[in-house]
């Protein structure tokens, strides 16, 4: 049984305006190491929506993305956004297990790379400049030791965008 899932969207959705949770945006691509990328839930099993609440270091988050290494999520920004923020870490459901690296790309250029996060680590706040980028890509790789227990959360993943934009 293959536990990975992929999705691809043709065309481009409208660009976001204001402060927007990434979990509400259409995915241009979504590749995940196990099951689907989850919106506003931690990574579960093979079915969409089967994940538990996003929880890192004892804090539960209402919004965000639950992924499993190796994963890539890409959304359309249309050049209208300036900043991406999130709180990253391994979901509490894996305990002290797992190890991942979080990366943020703006139009293919890496603008953030965290250190290797482990299941026992505290949550890490991320802020990345994405000024003028048409596409935002969020990537999680395994920590170099395989992807067992790599339930990686992009908690409170948010883009800050202008009120206009050309799309």
Residue 124 belongs to domain with CATH number: 2.60.120.1060
How high is the pLDDT of residue 123?
A: 97
How high is the pLDDT of residue 10?
A: 58
- Inside any domain, residue 167: no
- Inside any domain, residue 99: yes
- Inside any domain, residue 135: yes
Is the predicted pLDDT of residue 166 greater than 50, yes or no? no
- Inside any domain, residue 149: yes
Count of Cβ atoms closer than 10 Å to residue 133 Cβ = 24
Total domains present in the chain: 1
- Inside any domain, residue 166: no
Alpha helices (H) in the chain, listed in sequence order: none
Local confidence band at 45 (pLDDT 50, 70, 90 cut-offs)? confident
- Inside any domain, residue 63: yes
Could you give the maximum distance between any two Cα atoms of the chain, in Å?
Answer: 46
Q: Structural domain of residue 54, as residue ranges?
A: 5-161
- Inside any domain, residue 82: yes
Mean pLDDT value across residues 82-93: 97
């Amino acid at each position: 049984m293959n536990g990975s899932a992929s999705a691809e969207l043709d065309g481009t959705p409208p660009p976001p305006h204001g402060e927007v949770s990434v979990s509400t945006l259409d995915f241009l691509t979504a590749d995940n190491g196990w099951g689907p990328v989850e919106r506003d839930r931690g990574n579960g099993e093979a079915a969409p929506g089967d994940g538990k609440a996003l929880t890192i270091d004892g804090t539960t988050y209402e919004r965000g993305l639950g992924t499993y290494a190796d994963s890539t999520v890409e959304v359309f920004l249309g050049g209208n956004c300036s900043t991406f923020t999130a709180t990253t870490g391994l979901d509490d459901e894996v305990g002290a297990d797992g190890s991942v690296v979080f990366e943020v790309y703006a139009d293919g250029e890496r603008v953030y790379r965290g250190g290797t996060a482990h299941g026992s680590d505290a949550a890490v706040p991320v802020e990345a400049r994405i000024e003028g980028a048409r596409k935002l890509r969020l990537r999680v790789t395994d920590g170099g030791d395989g992807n067992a227990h790599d339930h990686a959360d992009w908690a409170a993943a948010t883009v800050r965008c202008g009120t206009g934009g050309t799309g």
